[in-house]
Amino acid sequence: MEGSQPKSQVKPRAASLTRDPERTRAAILRAATAEITAKGLTGARVDAIAARAGVNKRMLYHYFGDKQGLYLAVLEHTYAAIRAAEIGLNLTELDAAAGMRRLVLFTWQYFIDHPEFLSLLATENMNRAAYLKTSKQIRTLHAPLVGMIEVLLKRGAAEKVFRAGIDPIELYISIAALGFFYMSNRHTLSTIFGENLSAPERLARRGEHIVEVILAFLKPTKS
Amino acid sequence: MEGSQPKSQVKPRAASLTRDPERTRAAILRAATAEITAKGLTGARVDAIAARAGVNKRMLYHYFGDKQGLYLAVLEHTYAAIRAAEIGLNLTELDAAAGMRRLVLFTWQYFIDHPEFLSLLATENMNRAAYLKTSKQIRTLHAPLVGMIEVLLKRGAAEKVFRAGIDPIELYISIAALGFFYMSNRHTLSTIFGENLSAPERLARRGEHIVEVILAFLKPTKS
DNA sequence: CTGCATAGTAACCGTATAGTTACTTAACCG
DNA sequence: CGGTTAAGTAACTATACGGTTACTATGCAG
């Protein structure tokens, strides 16, 4: 352990000193995501991002132009990540109700696992979606869950286990809302109610609650 | 209109030049609320707040200590306002289902009318509720809607129009979530879906959707 | 009617911050 | 292998920003 290896000193510090644009770019993006989602766009400091990434500040400007360009890259990267995860969801083997349950729980779990996505959306909505509107990339990334919901609704209606005439976008918003609000506002809610809403058992309970609410809404009225 | 009144010139400019601590304080608070809810705490500029309020910047420090003190005052004032509105809600004359409908629509309408409340909560959650936790005032301001929901749930269960065993806090969070998320994320959602979610008819439709979702969840299962 | 506390003004200040300049060094291509 | 391009560094800069200093004016208590 304490011995030095005089033999193979060809590139002892190569891994960290060798130039590697992709790694540097990725490190900046990671650091920026952490800093911006923790402090917001205006609260984030470019010096802090550079320090966190372990790169010279100049590199942020080299790769991303300016702070706003970096923010846009973070936004696009984060949206691309959730879209990719959504596309990985396969519901074809399940019946309509089980498929809907899986879709709802998938969404809920994604929010639990990716608080940075919630923070970033909050930040971008404070900006009135100004950056999102400029991103052609994100606007071509259609939300696949809406399409999946549409299919489930049709199948469910055919199987007579769901009501007909439900708007998939309205439903998608509700599924997202029930999880998003709980997670994104967990700090104020926990304070107001004097309960720790982030406790694992509380999160599991919330997931079941959301499923119940959505399935109750979809259930045909026996009249 | 154009004539001057030479008679009563005792205090011609009195209203704007006379000292008036309460009015000045209120003007600062109003301006700070607008600036902070538009830009966030870190994005808000004390010079902008002073200019908007039409007062000397020094006065912000005179009345509120520093920027953080001003933010806390905005937070407390905004929470006090919603609590006051909630207390004004009277559901005693309605049956359980009608009462629940009114409570849900009241919450929804409050979010529509008070976007500053939504922005401020988003900002405070980015702060991980750090300021809320320091405010004894807000923490003594219990959410009255939870109590009202509890009463409605009991009455509804007795009338056999609601299921039994529903947690009022979980339900409160869901009622808030279905409206809050839609409004607070309306900019990104409108962009993604290419629809204007802020259109009045869309808001009305959303209100009815939320009522439907909540009442379906409360409905007893005929099994 | 005066003097003292408080409301209010204007100019100022230190520093934090986004962004730049001027330069060096590695890598790759012909 | 040499030279052009891109990756990377260090030091710097202009300014925006939160906060302060030093002062003036008002109004009310005694």
B125, B167, B217 ranked by CB distance to A188: nearest: B125
Q: Tell me the one-letter amino acid at A217.
A: F
| Residue B134: φ, ψ to 5° | -85, -10
Whole-number Å distance between alpha carbons of A28 and A34: 10
Residue type, B126: M
Q: Are B75 and B133 in contact (CB under 8 A)?
A: no
- Distance, CA of B130 to C1' of D27, in Å: 40
pLDDT for the residue numbered A3: 34
pLDDT of residue A45: 98
B156 pLDDT above the threshold of 50: yes
Chain A residues inside the 8 Å CB shell of B186: 125
**Chain A residues whose beta carbon lies within 8 Å of the beta carbon of residue B185:** 121, 125, 180
Domain A73-218 is classified in which CATH homologous superfamily?
Tetracycline Repressor, domain 2 (1.10.357.10)
Q: Which of residues 104-143 of A touch B (CB under 8 A)?
A: 119, 121-129, 132-133, 138-139, 143
Residue with tokens 């959410």: B143
CB distance A95 to A103 below 8 Å: no
> How do the domains of chain A map onto residue ranges?
19-65, 73-218
Domain covering B71-218, topology: Tetracycline Repressor; domain 2 (1.10.357)
pLDDT (tens digit per residue) in B78-99: 999 999 999 999 999 999 999 9
C-alpha A82/C-alpha A106 separation (Å) is 11
- Per-residue pLDDT band for B17 (boundaries 50, 70, 90) equals low
- The complex scores an ipTM of 0.92
Closest by Cα among B181, B155, B27, B11 to A178: B181
Q: What is the reported pLDDT for B130? A: 98
What does the pLDDT look like over A122-150, one tens digit per residue? 999 999 999 999 999 998 999 999 999 99
Q: Which residue in chain A has the smallest CA separation from B168?
A: A193
pLDDT along chain A (223 residues), means of 10: 34 54 97 98 98 98 98 98 98 97 98 98 98 94 95 97 98 98 98 97 98 98 72
B20-65 has which CATH code?
Answer: 1.10.10.60
Check if residue A12 sits with its Cβ under 7 angstroms from strand C: no
What pLDDT is recorded for position B222? 72
The partner residue sitting opposite A189, judged by closest CB among B167, B173, B222, is: B173
Average pLDDT of chain B to the nearest whole number: 92
The stretch B191-196 carries a mean pLDDT of 96
**Which residue of chain B is at minimal alpha-carbon distance from A194?**
B139
Question: For A30 and D19, how far is CA from C1' in angstroms?
Answer: 34
A191 touching B (Cβ < 8 Å): yes
**Residue B73 banded pLDDT, cuts 50, 70, 90:** very high
Nearest to A179 by CA among A195, A197, A154: A197
CATH architecture classification, A19-65: Orthogonal Bundle (1.10)
